[in-house]
Structure 1
């Protein structure tokens, strides 16, 4: 079957002498692998198109029983050279793409994740300012989109606040199983992220140590609720900016 659809390029690796294997999030078929034959050759039709984070219009031959599909045509729907020049944007981009790749199973069609990731990449590429805390916001939103969202259960925001991992809540009391006490700034960030989608959340002043700790807490949350969730390789890049 010939498929014409949009994809988000999550990962690209060299294959043999001249080709590339791409991991993409496809609007039509979910997370799949594509082979771009001859992509490493000079003047190949895919030259300049296969940068990680690009959103592409593609044509590929799809067979459900095949592990790698054959890419035949590609054109750019969205790309931004800013990710090559801006270390902070690139760090957030790579961390986000790796998170998306972990949260979507192979061949699982998830339009909400696809739409969020596509819109986020374009926002990140065009935004006037880069906020390191944006990745923690991505974690909160992705948890909500895939159905394991954290729900606020706060009686008094002035009191101590805890992220209850097992119960999936933020509350004034710690659960018995696994909880993290949040700093006041972490608490404000999480609660605002759960209650609204305003960029005003990035005005909350999270110290570098607080942000790194919050990202870790949210990763533990994903590990608890999702089998096989792993640490991101891109974290070594991301942590250099916080």
Structure 2
């Protein structure tokens, strides 16, 4: 049976001398694996279509086992990502996180749109850190994780000074700090941004200006939460941490006031 789908290549592996197995996250059917025969040959019509991050239309032959790629059309090669080592590192983490967090052939149009928008913004040169934080926060629900960000996770207070408790799974207010002496201290700007990125529609993301210190606080909270609750150990995450350190050593520190505009 032939079917057409809209998708993004999130993983590729060689199969034999000339073939590739590609994993595509599709709008219609979620994650699917396909055999792309001859795709390793430079002259193959599938050579560009089966590159990592490629967004396109795919004509698939489905049988009892793995599907076979029959035809396709590249809509966007995400060239801007591929031409920059930092963008490649961040995008590689995004697609591996998607791959490891999802089951085969389980449709999730919301996740497809989130993946497409995130990679498109990375391709256009938007802030890589902020895009990654948004994606990580929104992927938590896919993993069945729901951090408490609307109020204190202990006393339910909605006002006061807040920190983040990994043990309690969310924000805690100053009244409850002593109940978790290992909580992360957060500035009011970091608390506001954490909530905003978790709840906002990524399509509304506009110009971004966030202090490096605020980013560090968000990264510490998100990384620690994932380490404690997700059960994921991704090779691309370790590499990304190395790349982030390199990028920060090459660029001046951002000294502007923390702020984020949405459209």
TM-score, normalised relative to structure 1: 0.82
What is the deviation of 1:222?
4.4
Alpha carbons of structure 1 residues 164 and 153: separation in structure 2 relative to 1, 3 Å: farther
Given candidates 236, 239, 254, the residue that maps to 1:237 is 239
Structure 1 runs of 4+ off > 6 angstroms?
A: 174-177
Deviation, 1:26, is 2.0
Aligned residues: 233
Change (3 A) 1:145 1:200: farther
Deviation per residue, 1:14-67 (Å, 9 max, x gap): 11010001111122222121010011123111122221111120101113x41x
* Alignment deviations for residues 134-184 of structure 1 (CA, whole Å, 9 cap, x no partner): 212211122246653334214466524124566x5323236979x742432
> Is 2:142 the partner of 1:142?
no
Partners of 1:134 and 1:202 within 8 A in 2: no
Q: Distance in 2 between matches of 1:210 and 1:110?
A: 30
In 1, Cα distance between equivalents of 2:195 and 2:238? 27
Q: TM-score, normalised by structure 2?
A: 0.76
**Where in structure 1 are there 5+ consecutive unaligned residues?**
224-228
Match of 2:249 in 1: none
How has the CA–CA distance of structure 1 residues 58 and 196 changed in structure 2, closer, same or farther, with 3 Å as cutoff? closer
1:37-186 to 2 correspondence within 5 Å?
Answer: 37-63=37-63, 65-66=64-65, 68-127=66-125, 129-144=126-141, 148-150=145-147, 151-154=149-152, 155=157, 158-164=160-166, 168-172=169-173, 173=176, 180-184=183-187, 186=190
Q: Is the 8 A contact 1:188 1:204 kept in 2?
A: no
Distance 1:196 1:23, change over 3 A: closer
Match of 1:204 in 2: 210
C-alpha contact 1:25 1:114 (8 A) present in aligned 2: yes
**2:196 match:** 192
Structure 2 CA distance for partners of 1:180 and 1:62, relative to 1, 3 Å = farther
Asked if the contact 2:194–2:218 (Cα under 8 Å) also holds between the matched residues in 1, the reply is no
Alpha-carbon RMSD across the aligned residues, in angstroms, is 2.9
- Which has more radius of gyration? 2
Query: Which residue of 2 is the match for residue 226 of structure 1?
Result: none
CA apart distance, 1:80: 2.2
